[in-house]
Structure 1
Amino acid sequence: MTKKPAGNLQDPITYVLTLIPAEPPERAIRLRRQIMAVYSYCLLWVGTILGVELSAFAPNTPHLMMFSVLFAINLVFFLLIRSGLSERLGDPSLTILQMATGIILTTVILHYTRELRGAMLSIYFMVMTFGIFALDRRRQMAMAGFTLFCFTTLQVYEWLETPQQAIFSFLIGHWIILALILCWFIYMGGYIHNLQNRVRDQRENLRDAHSRLEAIAVRDDLTGLYNRRHFLERLEEELSLANRNHTPLYLAIIDLDHFKRVNDNYGHHSGDEVLSRFARIASQGLRKSDLLARYGGEEFVVLFPHATEAACEAALERLRRRFAEQGYSFASDIKTTFSAGLTAFQPGETADQLIKRADSALYGAKSRGRNQVVQLPLS
């Protein structure tokens, strides 16, 4: 029987003990926020215990029961996020549920406060802060409304339960203060959320621009194929691999026959169409592992890694026949062909030496009448 390594993530114990995994990063961020919330509740619990001891809270405050239930609920939240089940919901961070839990807890704690109620209203604002970066203005308004509803319900309950202890001016004053600060939170929270969205959009635009610049750096504008500079960089890499692993590597240089006549007789726009047409059918007809690039003007290069001589010749012949069958709207009678020189990499050979031998093979194809593939034999 094969023994599983101790650090195997498939081990349930190891999985549970790994509180915050590195991947996926979005889940790790949500878990950190969850732990921050639990830490805040721990501080609130300590403050509540001190408040009871200092008689700032009612002596019968059931803080042990309240926070036990709270931590149990937060454990469920943590497991939902940690397992990834929350990602099936519209709110993967469970922000609204977590805020609602905190608001209800705060309301219950306020019921047991005495002279500190005005100061303890700040706990509501701590809970609201939790949603500033996660909720848009509409949902922030909903949570502010829920907060005001809970506090109003508490005040009405206490007024009906013990009307002789209720001081109307304090009730109205606390309600107005809470409502005003909640309005401020909605305004600032919406502003911060919109600012965060703009920053995210700018970051995505920068990423897209960077991707486009990378594409421009390695791609030919007209054909979309790799350009000469990128091809030469990849060629050096493939030569190193072929040298080290003793694997076959073939290089073909392709030149479109009489391309200058197309430009001279039909214009550069028609010439561009021929180049683009060749690039498209070549991309479709070659293997994904083959490296196709525009070498310059009407010249193209193909690098065939892990291929046989017969397979390379067959691929070039198929491409030559298909290219010759193409029809063009700018001239119904025009036929386009190409000549190609193919050669195999020799161990220890440099990139320049390989390119020169492929170019010699191309010269042989043109000297023999064009529209053919010629392979330069190994010396």
Structure 2
Amino acid sequence: MSLGRGMTESTAFYRERRAPLPPFSAILGTDQAERLAIGLTLISMALYLFCLVAEWIGVSLNLVDATQSLWLTIVALGGEVAFYVLLRSGISRRWPDPTLSLPQMVFAITLLGAAYLINPQVRGELLMLAALVLEFGAFQLPPRRCRDLGWFAVAVFGVAMAIGATVSPDRFDPRIEVFQFALMLAFLPVIAGIAGKLSQMRLDQKQQRRQLRDALKQVQILATRDELTGLPNRRHALELIERETARARRSGAPLCVAILDLDHFKRINDTFGHGVGDEVLRTFGREGRLVLRADNIFARWGGEEFILVMPDSTLIDAQTIVRRLREHMASPECWASCLRARTTFSAGIAEFLVGETLDETFIRADAALYEAKKLGRDLTMTA
């Protein structure tokens, strides 16, 4: 019964803390990439509607054939609705082009080619719209696809011009169509090339941002981690320890600090070389992480010294934790990579006392460590 009540309270808590949905999420979705793709689709849909309104104004003025315009309207609106449904439902996520950018642009250029055959009197405006479609490619397509789309537009309009001049030369004067084709051949590939350059700039900036994030992450790691052992370094360890001591002061919970020192480490370096000595340090750090509790702070303090901070632990608890670490490090399997240089460690433990500074706790732990080394090493002493 109490479990059910706890689950209900937990559910209510998360319901209250749930992040608010982004604006127009019912229409655009919540995924950022999906929202961008759907937003561009809706913008193109608005352009379609504007052009179709102009088309039907032409029909009302008897400038355009109504039947052809009806078919153009059905195909245009049906295609846009289909693209929206595929994007919003998430079906397109499984496809190579989840944003459907290239299919939408191919569809738009093909429609413009069909509109060219229906509306020869606005051929210049249709070519301008084709150029606008090519510029959309800079936001979504890779550079090569932008250039390919430019040549596809040239081919579509070239076919439309050829069909019009052949089937209806009275409406499509061949001389004008040749002139139009020459102009189109001059500027559409150039516009597509510019879109490709913009696309390349977009990709370069994206790559630079990724590299910057990686570099910042690496700098953060270097600033907080010991490069040799991967443990928190002294500076970062002090930040973590100060946080734990502040918590201990507030809550009154026990907190113990242990300074660990590898025995005879100088002799290991002198006998086997610094490379083996480094491997001993790495091994101790790696194996220590494996056996210690998740809430323990285990860091390299400097040289062959390590610091171990044990929140919510009394002196007896801390001795048990250090003993468990000592027993683990006594196993030859731990030292497989440097078996001939396996060593022990000495430890000094001090419990943080309310009213004393952190430095005073360290001094007492260091004094206990000195006592352990003086008594023969491989020992744990408490302050």
Q: Is the TM-score greater than 0.5? A: yes
Query: 8 Å contact 1:58–1:114 — kept in the other structure?
Result: no
Aligned residue number for residue 3 of structure 2: none
Q: Deviations over 1:187-221 (max 9, x none)?
A: 22332222222222222222221111111111112
Aligned residue number for residue 380 of structure 2: 373
When residues 79 and 288 of structure 1 are mapped into structure 2, their CA distance, relative to the original with a 3 A threshold, is farther
1:225 aligns with 2:231: yes
Identity of aligned residues (%): 33
Letter in 2 for 1:193: S
Higher helix residue share: 2
1:82 paired residue among 79, 83, 88: 88
1:344 aligns with 2:351: yes
Note the C-alpha offset of 1:313: 3.1
Structure 2: distance between partners of 1:366 and 1:319: 18
Q: What CA RMSD, in Å, does the superposition of the two structures yield over aligned residues?
A: 3.6
Aligned residue number for residue 99 of structure 1: 105
Aligned residue number for residue 26 of structure 2: 18
Once the two structures are superposed, the pairs formed by residues 292-307 of structure 1 within 5 Å of their partners are 292-307=298-313
Note the C-alpha offset of 1:297: 1.5
Structure 1: distance between partners of 2:214 and 2:232: 19
Letter in 1 for 2:308: V
Note the C-alpha offset of 1:300: 0.5
1:242 aligns with 2:248: yes
Structure 2: distance between partners of 1:329 and 1:103: 65
1:278 aligns with 2:284: yes
1:167 aligns with 2:161: no
SS at match of 1:212: helix
Structure 1: stretches of 5+ with no match in the other structure: none
1:132 aligns with 2:138: yes
Q: How many residues align?
A: 369
Instruction: Report the TM-score, using the length of structure 1 for normalisation.
Output: 0.82
Which stretch of structure 1 is more off in the superposition, 149-158 or 62-71?
62-71
Letter in 1 for 2:26: T
Aligned residue number for residue 118 of structure 2: 112
Structure 2: stretches of 5+ with no match in the other structure: 1-7
SS at match of 1:369: coil
Letter in 2 for 1:92: P
Structure 1: distance between partners of 2:369 and 2:356: 19
Query: 8 Å contact 1:225–1:293 — kept in the other structure?
Result: yes
Q: Deviations over 1:148-189 (max 9, x none)?
A: 343233334334432444311122222232233232133223
1:42 paired residue among 41, 46, 49: 49
Structure 1: distance between partners of 2:109 and 2:218: 47
Letter in 2 for 1:244: R
Instruction: Report the TM-score, using the length of structure 2 for normalisation.
Output: 0.82
Q: Deviations over 1:5-55 (max 9, x none)?
A: xx99x9xxx99863345x532223223322322233233334435555677
